[in-house]
Homo-oligomer: A and B are copies of this chain.
Amino acid sequence: MRKDLKLRAMMYPMPAVIVSTYNDDGAPDGMTAAWCGICSHKPPCIMIAINSTLKRRTLVNIKQRNAFVVNVSDISHMTETDYLGIDSGYDVDKFDRVHFTALPSAHVNAPIIEQLPFSLECRAVQFTEVGSHTQIIGEIVNISAEDTILNEKGFVDIHKLDPVIYEDVLHDYYRIGEKCGDAFSAGVIYRKASEIKEGEGDLWKR
């Protein structure tokens, strides 16, 4: 039976990224965020949403330098990720607490978290007020990864990356499980035989 649930912001799966910025004194700060998603292919852009009361130092920092880095959290830094979502950069030096160090970006005025293996360097190109949140669109101007998470062809191996999945209702963290299928391929079974072209199903595979 289908039931209506209590209204709230829900999605499955949700990421857990750390948005890193510079404070006005140049010190690095980071904030855990689950509300984000890709929003353009060309140029590649990502959306992040931050509570707009300006109690979030990260939002102030992004507005000052028009830059931020989205660092994907991995399971081996789950406790650090959680802490960066608990305390405020106004009260403590969060980087220092979790022993994160900052790598300067050569492309934007924001720090990369050295300990996290995958990051998107973003230039803030648009701010939109949406209800309680400010939605920031960042153009991704550089992507970097530790070579330890790449496969033999140089692509990110999702299991080597081991990204944190956040569950926002019961407040749990999960990891990625097993592969279940090939995209742009598994669904070809719903085409009629006459519609399937030679090699189709493998078209999008590398």
Binding site for B on A (CB under 8 A): 1-15, 34-47, 49, 51, 70, 72, 75, 78-87, 97-98, 103, 118, 120, 126, 128, 130-133, 135, 137, 139-147, 150, 154-156, 158, 161, 163-191, 204-206
Contact = CB atoms under 8 A, between A and B. Distances in A.
A173 B169 contact: no
Q: Closest 9 A-B residue pairs measured CB to CB?
A: A37-B37, A83-B187, A82-B187, A177-B177, A40-B131, A9-B44, A171-B183, A12-B163, A39-B49
30 contacts: A1-B146, A2-B103, A3-B145, A4-B144, A7-B143, A9-B41, A9-B45, A9-B140, A10-B44, A11-B38, A11-B72, A12-B72, A12-B163, A13-B158, A13-B163, A14-B37, A37-B47, A39-B135, A44-B131, A78-B180, A82-B185, A83-B188, A85-B187, A86-B187, A130-B137, A158-B167, A165-B176, A172-B179, A175-B177, A177-B178
Given A82-B185, A82-B186, A175-B178, A36 B11 contact: yes
Number of identical protomers: 2
A27 to B, nearest CB: 17
Contacts of A175: 177-178, 180
B186 A131 contact: no
A5 B143 contact: yes
A177 B174 contact: yes
Contacts of A120: 10-11
A118 to B, nearest CB: 7
A40 B174 contact: no
Contacts of A163: 12-13
